Structures are given as C-alpha cells and as structure tokens.
Amino acid sequence: MSLLASLNMTSETRLSNETGSPLHRARASVLHNIQVQRDLLAHERNGTSPANMTKVVTKNGVETTRKLRPRRWFFKSPTTGEWLVQVLVGHKPLVIRDGMTSIVAGDLDAVEATLNLVAQAVQDNELDTALSAAIAARAARPKTAKGSKPKSKTKGAAPAATTEPAPQ
C-alpha cells in the first residue's frame, strides 16, 4: 500500500479572500499587539525596561536585528489618575463606541482584564465595524514617499523676506 493512499483526503480548500482580506489582517494585527501590550504591562508592573524586544528582518538575504520600541496602549490619565487603554490600529486610536477611543480601566490589573476583553471582542468579530472604519480611513489618506514630507497645501509664492535694520 502506498503512503499517499493511506492519507485521508478532502476537496475543501482554503478561503483565499478571508486570509488575505484587510479586515482579517487588522484582526490578526490587533491580537498580536495585545500580546505585546501584555508584555509591556508586565514590565510596567515590575518597574523594568522592555530591553529585549527585537525583531529579525531579512532584506536581500541579509539578516539584521532591529530593536522594537512599541507604543503603549495604556496610560495614566492626567486629570483623574486612572489607567486608560486605547487600541491603536495603524498608529491611530480605534474609535470603539460613540466616537470615543479610550477605555477606563482603573488600575493595572484592570488594564490586563481590559486587554483580555478587547482580545475576546476581536475574536468574536465585535470590533469588525470599527476596524473596517479604521481601514477605510487609512486607505483614504494620501500616500507620500518614504522619508519625504507631505506637500504644503498652500499655493503660491513663498512669503517675501523682510529686511529690517540690524540692531545697534
């Protein structure tokens, strides 16, 4: 008997539009970043610096190690002193409900519970409308070349230089 003949086969195929869709990638990105936030939260509790966060990048066959400095999603409110959580998608806060982006957590234990709730909401597709809106807003932004500054929105000549006498 052949080895291939012993395999249990099916005609089912992978859904190509689901795995590569922007919404699916956004969900995966948020879930990955929630794990990063959990690591940052552990460092915050211990009072240590997250010095070991690195990423190996391969470009043109050359591997380089880059130090990551992820932005924390949680911060202490300057007005109330409570810990708040903002879910970031593409470095922008995600509008979760009623135009609001910050979730009041209270203390660091509640920050972890909030991150767990957000992760569960992403897995249950409850944040799909908010993620879709963030994807659409990101797609609508004008693109600039890497390293270049966006062009000025004002048209016309630059302001004339003023000539003032030198102080004496």
Range 79-108 average pLDDT: 92
Using the predicted structure, report yes or no on whether residue 38 has a pLDDT greater than 90: yes
Q: What is the pLDDT of residue 132?
A: 92
Cα separation of 111 and 73, whole Å?
10
Confidence band, pLDDT 50/70/90 cuts, at residue 49: confident
In this predicted structure, the answer to whether residue 3 has a pLDDT above a threshold of 80 is no
Q: How far apart are CA 130 and CA 31, in angstroms?
A: 15
pLDDT digits (tens, 9 = 90+) for 118-144: 999 999 999 999 999 999 988 887 877
Residue that wins the pLDDT comparison between 137 and 154: 137
pLDDT at position 155 is 56
pLDDT of residue 110: 93
Give Cβ neighbours of residue 105 (< 8 Å, ≥ 6 apart): 74, 82, 83, 84, 85, 111, 113, 114
Task: State the pLDDT confidence band at 82, using cuts at 50, 70 and 90.
Answer: very high
Q: What is the DSSP letter of 107?
A: S
The residue ranking higher by pLDDT, 85 or 59, is: 85
Cα–Cα nearest to 127, from 138, 136, 119: 119
Ranges 8-22, 50-64, 103-117: which has the least confidence: 8-22
Residues 66-75: pLDDT tens digits?
887 888 999 9
Nearest to 37 by CA among 50, 55, 52: 50
Quote the pLDDT of residue 153. 58
